[in-house]
């Protein structure tokens, strides 16, 4: 007799714990967003004058721009009630032993110290909106690599460079939430890799939110100079809250001539999060941008990392996976603009929907006039785990050059009963068989991640699949 | 003779259609049985029913393994009891390497951790016996394997898991002469252990030439029409199934 199976809700206990803190430890601004609040934030952060100007200008733009109406609903967001800025009292510290126990214990539950010990060069772990812990292996700084929080970098050696690059790739005018970001951004990382320096070990930053109603607006600015090489890992995990949470971070990446930057993200925001993150990379002659992106969490997501292949012979590779479960509406994708000659892009994305989750995959490939010899392949595959989830693939191609070679392929599939029976006939349980098949489907991403992260991602998939047998 | 598998009056439906109309079959420990019959006779249905494929519904009769009725057991549990089915069309599973899959499988079937070093060594040894490159183990399960490679991989898994009862469903179909020889060497290896029982489902006789066969059964139109010893294979080789279908 055929047994009907379906995918049930997800057990997120491991990821949804939240360490209780006393409210008194935190400094909060009023709930609404006014020029006074923006000035207050700016003062608190000891901004240079130009930054205050940028914040105030951004606020004006924010007030003018409408909320986007073309994607998943954002009605659950009540911006007037979002505390935009929360920071722990703790001052920046460089020693693990000096990090307050409360914060440390939360991090330990999230596995940060181990991660650092084992394979990472440095950690700029963000607790709420402030970097509280910063460490970097000596050999990396000896190479002249700067990895620091953006606030202190604004007063450091590269202050002018930051002024020249900050929100130039992603200006506040880009969309409403970029404007919001410009007005209230806080925390984040600055990485500078000098010419010719190859950083052997990945740098990691770890963001999370930990106060009800708090938005997070961290800014990441990475500059990889000519011939240099860097792998940066952004990992996210956040505990569960009762009211809507907003994440509107900004990532700006500058990839120099013949340089290579790999930017990996495993994002696992709790399922009440609105993730409206924006990322953009500019690639010079012969440079290469590699994105590895895993989206698992959040309630609603808009995420479309964009790459501008400005230089001749520049390249972009995008490898991504999106897993939309119960109650999730994840709108993800990418945009690649070919401007230089003989530029290439290769996209491989996987999307999984289950328990009524909605996954939308948007890809946009633009080949500008004069971008002769551009080559682009886009490959999107979808796995549907039941009959009531939804998955859409929306490819857009805008080709303005005769000599471009652009291809797109989309596939949709289900887990067949035959495949489950095959694995079960080898002693594997039905639940494990499903998890194995889903993990296997996701291996385009796990193969690209450092081992530790690949294991974490597979655990996450396993966790998502637990209780999936009815 | 101690009976390992005992099938009584087995009727099996696929969808609404009855495929097996009451089959009786007993397999003893250490015996090799061959099940022959024309295409569509219900041979594979028998294999799937014994393994516990949920798409094959048992409407009447019973299957006992080691004296226990296994009707309620799913395929996972039947595998753990020591039943193995070599698939006619092994499924491709991207993203899982053959070796990881086999190790996982072995740990589930034996219920104990398998040391990676011991596993690797055993895997290399068995691969060699089947003329398989070591690198197959690192490839995704059946993905891009040729027909022959898929069948070899099924036999490799058989040798690694070493079940009490192996059902080989058309393992020889689609294989060239050399591959049939290699696969039958693998089956011989399995037969060496006198505790192991084997059901070979086939509609040709090539694979049987080099194997010791204790019993031969002929299934036609969902019924077992004749049982004999190894000589029955030769008879069918000569006359085909015509005498049964007439």
> Do the Cβ atoms of A443 and B94 come within 8 Å?
yes
Q: Indicate whether A99 pLDDT > 60.
A: no
Is B120 part of the contact surface with chain A (CB cutoff 8 Å)? Answer: no
Query: Nearest CA of chain B to the CA of A460: how many Å?
Result: 16
According to the model, what pLDDT value does residue B172 have? 86
What confidence category does residue A107 fall into, taking pLDDT thresholds of 50, 70 and 90?
A: low
Using one digit for the tens of pLDDT, what is the confidence trace for A407-447? 999 998 889 899 999 999 999 999 999 999 999 999 888 88
According to the model, what pLDDT value does residue B177 have? 86
> Do the Cβ atoms of A424 and B90 come within 8 Å?
no
Interface test with B, best of A427, A445, A470 (most B CBs within 10 A): A427
Contacts of residues B17-26 at CB distance under 8 Å and 24 or more positions apart, as own/partner, are: B18/B59, B18/B222, B19/B45, B19/B56, B19/B222, B20/B45, B20/B46, B20/B49, B20/B222, B21/B221, B21/B222, B21/B223, B22/B60, B22/B61, B22/B223, B23/B61, B23/B219, B23/B222, B23/B223, B23/B224, B24/B224, B25/B217, B25/B224
> pLDDT averaged over chain B?
92
According to the model, what pLDDT value does residue A171 have? 97
Residue span of the structural domain in which B74 resides: 3-245
Tally of residues, chain A:
470
Q: Indicate whether A38 pLDDT > 80.
A: yes
Residue of B nearest to A430 (CA): B76
Kindly report the number of other CB atoms within 10 A of residue B38's CB atom: 16
Q: Indicate whether A139 pLDDT > 70.
A: no
> Do the Cβ atoms of A425 and B161 come within 8 Å?
no
Using one digit for the tens of pLDDT, what is the confidence trace for A289-338? 999 999 988 899 999 999 999 999 999 999 999 999 999 999 999 999 99
According to the model, what pLDDT value does residue B110 have? 93
Is B51 part of the contact surface with chain A (CB cutoff 8 Å)? Answer: yes
Interatomic CA distance for residues B221 and A371, integer angstroms = 66
Is A50 part of the contact surface with chain B (CB cutoff 8 Å)? Answer: no
Calculate mean pLDDT across residues A268-287: 90
Regarding an ipTM greater than 0.90, the answer is yes
Q: Indicate whether A23 pLDDT > 70.
A: no
Query: Nearest CA of chain A to the CA of B147: how many Å?
Result: 17
What residues of A are in contact with residue B82 (Cβ under 8 Å)? Answer: none
Is B150 part of the contact surface with chain A (CB cutoff 8 Å)? Answer: no
According to the model, what pLDDT value does residue A27 have? 52
Q: What 3-state DSSP class applies to A258?
A: coil
> Do the Cβ atoms of B94 and A441 come within 8 Å?
yes
Using one digit for the tens of pLDDT, what is the confidence trace for B127-154? 998 989 888 889 999 999 998 899 999 9
Is B95 part of the contact surface with chain A (CB cutoff 8 Å)? Answer: yes
Residue B143: which CATH number? 3.40.50.300
Q: Indicate whether B6 pLDDT > 80.
A: yes
Using one digit for the tens of pLDDT, what is the confidence trace for A42-77? 998 899 999 999 999 999 999 899 889 889 998 888
Calculate mean pLDDT across residues A120-125: 41
Using one digit for the tens of pLDDT, what is the confidence trace for A439-467? 999 988 888 888 777 877 887 787 777 65
Strand order in the sheet with A375-384: A130-136, A122-127, A203-208, A229-237, A260-268, A288-295, A315-324, A344-353, A375-384, A405-414
Interatomic CA distance for residues A140 and B215, integer angstroms = 72
Number of domains in chain B: 1
The residue ranges of every structural domain in chain A are 17-416, 417-470
DSSP count for chain B of H helices, then E strands? 8, 12
Calculate mean pLDDT across residues B62-76: 96
C-alpha pair distances (Å), B86 with each of A420, B25, B74, B96, B172: 15, 19, 17, 19, 11
C-alpha pair distances (Å), A235 with each of A29, A324, A374, B43: 27, 18, 32, 53
> Do the Cβ atoms of A427 and B85 come within 8 Å?
no
Q: Indicate whether A193 pLDDT > 90.
A: yes
Q: Indicate whether A152 pLDDT > 90.
A: no
Among B55, B80, B93, beta carbon nearest to A427: B80
Which candidate, A334, A339, A349, places its Cα nearest to that of A304?
A: A334
Contact A63, A32 (CB under 8 A): no
Strand order in the sheet with B56-65: B17-28, B3-14, B56-65, B68-69
Interface test with A, best of B95, B114, B161, B166 (most A CBs within 10 A): B95
């Amino acid at each position: 007799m055929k047994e009907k199976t379906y995918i049930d809700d997800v057990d997120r206990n491991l990821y949804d714990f939240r360490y209780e803190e006393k409210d008194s430890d935190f400094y909060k601004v009023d709930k609404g967003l006014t020029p006074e609040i923006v000035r207050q934030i700016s003062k608190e952060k000891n901004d240079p004058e130009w930054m205050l100007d940028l914040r105030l200008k951004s606020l004006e733009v924010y007030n003018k721009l409408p909320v986007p109406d073309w994607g998943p609903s954002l009605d659950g967001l009540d911006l007037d009630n979002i505390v935009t800025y929360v920071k722990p009292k703790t001052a920046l510290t460089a020693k693990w032993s000096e990090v307050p126990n409360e914060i440390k214990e939360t991090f330990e539950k999230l596995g940060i110290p181990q991660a650092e010990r084992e394979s990472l060069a440095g950690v700029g772990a963000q607790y709420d909106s402030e970097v509280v812990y910063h460490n970097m292996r000596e050999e990396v700084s000896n190479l002249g690599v700067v990895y620091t929080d953006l606030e202190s970098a604004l007063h450091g050696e590269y202050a002018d460079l930051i002024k020249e690059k900050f929100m130039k790739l992603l200006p506040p005018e880009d969309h409403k939430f970029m404007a919001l970001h410009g007005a209230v951004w806080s925390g984040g990382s600055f990485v500078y890799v000098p010419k010719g320096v190859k950083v052997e070990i990945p740098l990691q930053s770890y963001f999370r939110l930990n106060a009800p109603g708090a938005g997070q607006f961290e800014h990441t600015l990475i500059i990889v100079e000519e011939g240099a090489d860097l792998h940066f890992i952004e990992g996210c995990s956040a505990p569960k809250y009762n009211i809507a949470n907003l994440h509107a971070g900004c990532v700006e990446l500058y990839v120099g001539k013949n340089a290579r930057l790999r930017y990996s993200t495993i994002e696992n925001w709790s399922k009440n999060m609105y993730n409206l993150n924006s990322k953009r990379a500019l690639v010079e002659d012969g440079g290469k941008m590699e994105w590895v992106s895993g989206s698992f969490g959040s309630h609603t997501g808009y995420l479309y990392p964009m790459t501008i292949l400005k230089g001749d012979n520049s390249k972009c590779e995008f490898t991504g996976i999106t897993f939309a479960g119960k109650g999730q509406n994840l709108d993800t994708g990418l945009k690649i603009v070919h401007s230089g000659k003989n530029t290439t892009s290769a996209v491989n994305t996987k999307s999984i929907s289950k328990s009524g989750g909605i996954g939308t995959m948007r890809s946009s490939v633009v080949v500008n006039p004069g971008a002769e010899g551009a080559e682009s392949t886009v490959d999107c595959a979808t796995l549907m785990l039941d009959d009531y989830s939804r998955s859409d693939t929306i490819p857009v191609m805008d080709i303005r050059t005769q000599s471009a070679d652009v291809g797109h392929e989309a596939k949709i599939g289900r887990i067949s009963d035959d495949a489950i029976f095959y694995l079960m006939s080898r002693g594997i349980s039905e639940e494990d068989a499903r998890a194995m098949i889903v993990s296997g489907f996701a291996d385009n991403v796990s193969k690209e991640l450092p081992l530790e992260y690949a294991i974490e991602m597979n655990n996450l998939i396993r966790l998502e699949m637990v209780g999936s047998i009815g | 003779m101690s009976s390992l598998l005992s099938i009584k009056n087995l009727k099996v439906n696929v969808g609404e259609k009855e495929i097996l109309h009451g089959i009786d079959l007993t397999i003893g420990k250490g015996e090799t049985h061959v099940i022959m019959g024309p295409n569509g006779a219900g041979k594979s249905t028998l294999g799937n029913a014994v393994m516990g494929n949920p798409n094959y519904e048992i409407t009447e009769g019973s299957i006992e393994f080691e004296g226990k009725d296994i009707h309620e057991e799913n395929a996972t549990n039947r595998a753990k009891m020591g039943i193995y089915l070599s698939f006619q069309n092994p499924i491709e599973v991207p993203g899982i390497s053959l070796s990881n899959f086999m190790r996982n499988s072995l740990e589930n079937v034996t219920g104990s951790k398998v040391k990676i070093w011991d596993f690797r060594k055993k895997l290399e040894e068995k691969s060699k016996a089947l003329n398989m490159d070591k690198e197959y183990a690192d490839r995704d399960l059946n993905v891009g394997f040729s027909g022959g490679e898929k069948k070899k991989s099924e036999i490799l898994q058989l040798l690694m898991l070493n079940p009490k009862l192996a059902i080989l469903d058309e393992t020889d179909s689609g294989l060239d002469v050399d591959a049939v020889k290699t696969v039958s060497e693998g089956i011989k290896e399995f037969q060496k252990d006198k505790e192991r029982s084997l059901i070979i489902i086939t509609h040709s006789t090539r694979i049987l030439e080099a194997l010791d066969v204790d019993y031969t059964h002929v299934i036609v139109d969902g019924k077992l029409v004749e049982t004999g010893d190894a000589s029955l294979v030769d008879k069918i080789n000569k006359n085909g199934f015509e005498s049964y279908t007439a």
